[in-house]
Amino acid sequence: MRAPSQVTARVVAIEPAGAYQLLTLAAPTVAAGSEPGQFVAVAVGGPVTSMLLRRSFALYTADPGTGLIQIVVAEHGPGTAWLVRVEPGASLDVVGPLGRPFRLPPEAGTAVLVAGGYGSAPMFDLARRLRAGGSAVHMVIGAGSAERLFGVDEAHAVADSVVVLTDDGSRGIQGLVTRPLPQLLGPAGASMVYACGPMAMLEAVGAAAASHDVPCQVAVEESMACGIGVCMTCVLPVIGADGRTRMLRSCVEGPVFDAERIRWKDVGTLPADVLGADAMVVH
């Protein structure tokens, strides 16, 4: 992986994409070194602002040829509200590419890619790379409603099959993204699962994969305030190869982890058996 860079990125375009905004940025250094699953951290609020923390976004596309990257932004608070209202031609302070990407399989197989909401963003470049390596790709895309889906048309272009689900049934099948997994992981003979989306969804996908003895990589959506491993706000308990649990930083050791290594029920807590827990407790 290439070391991240802090760059001034020019806003090339901003356009609506359902419930989200798609930002295209000129950032050649970032585009040249990124891999599916990595992210960028963007400064928000302008040069004079009280919003000191960056906002992190998974890379949707990164084209070394054009030097362009794209991110999908959902308006949640003041930072993203400011970001979705920037004008083409404006400059943004961007750090990236950050984090550890999805790992590609050593040999061709059958991959199931599961995405929720704008968690679909990193899945399309991943699908292209998997298919370029000879793997078959089946995508499952879900969201609460039709307008919160992202990239359904593109999914049909990059995957061998696509299943679309919404919680309210406004598009595709009504239900959760886990609904088609027994069929995809069973008779289809899937050899790997990749997932990105809300944490509850990732836990459920990981459990489904484990029940079929299929390895599963997940890109977690923990809050990343700094993006470079300094602030420790995005830690979660992860079991290491030695069987010991450590609090790992999603932005540095992740955001991609093996689903079976994450202690899902303990996310957001400090388990007593975590390595170094005794030193982290406030007395």
Please identify, in words, the CATH class of the domain defined by 110-221.
alpha beta
- CATH-assigned architecture of domain 5-98: Beta Barrel (2.40)
Domain ranges of the chain: 5-98, 110-221, 224-283
Q: What tens digit of pLDDT does each residue of 15-72 get?
A: 999 999 999 999 999 999 899 999 999 999 887 777 778 899 999 999 999 999 999 9
Mean pLDDT of 80-107: 95
Mean pLDDT of 84-97: 95
Mean pLDDT of 168-188: 92
Judge if the upstream peptide bond of residue 255 is cis by omega within 30 degrees of 0. yes
Q: Assess contact for 136 and 36: CB atoms under 8 A.
A: no
Q: What is the pLDDT of residue 225?
A: 75
Higher pLDDT, 226 or 143: 143
pLDDT at 258 over 70: yes
Binned at pLDDT 50, 70 and 90, residue 226 comes out as confident
What are the C-alpha distances in Å from 40 to residues 60, 137, 229?
10, 26, 13
Give the global pTM.
0.93
pLDDT at 281 over 70: no
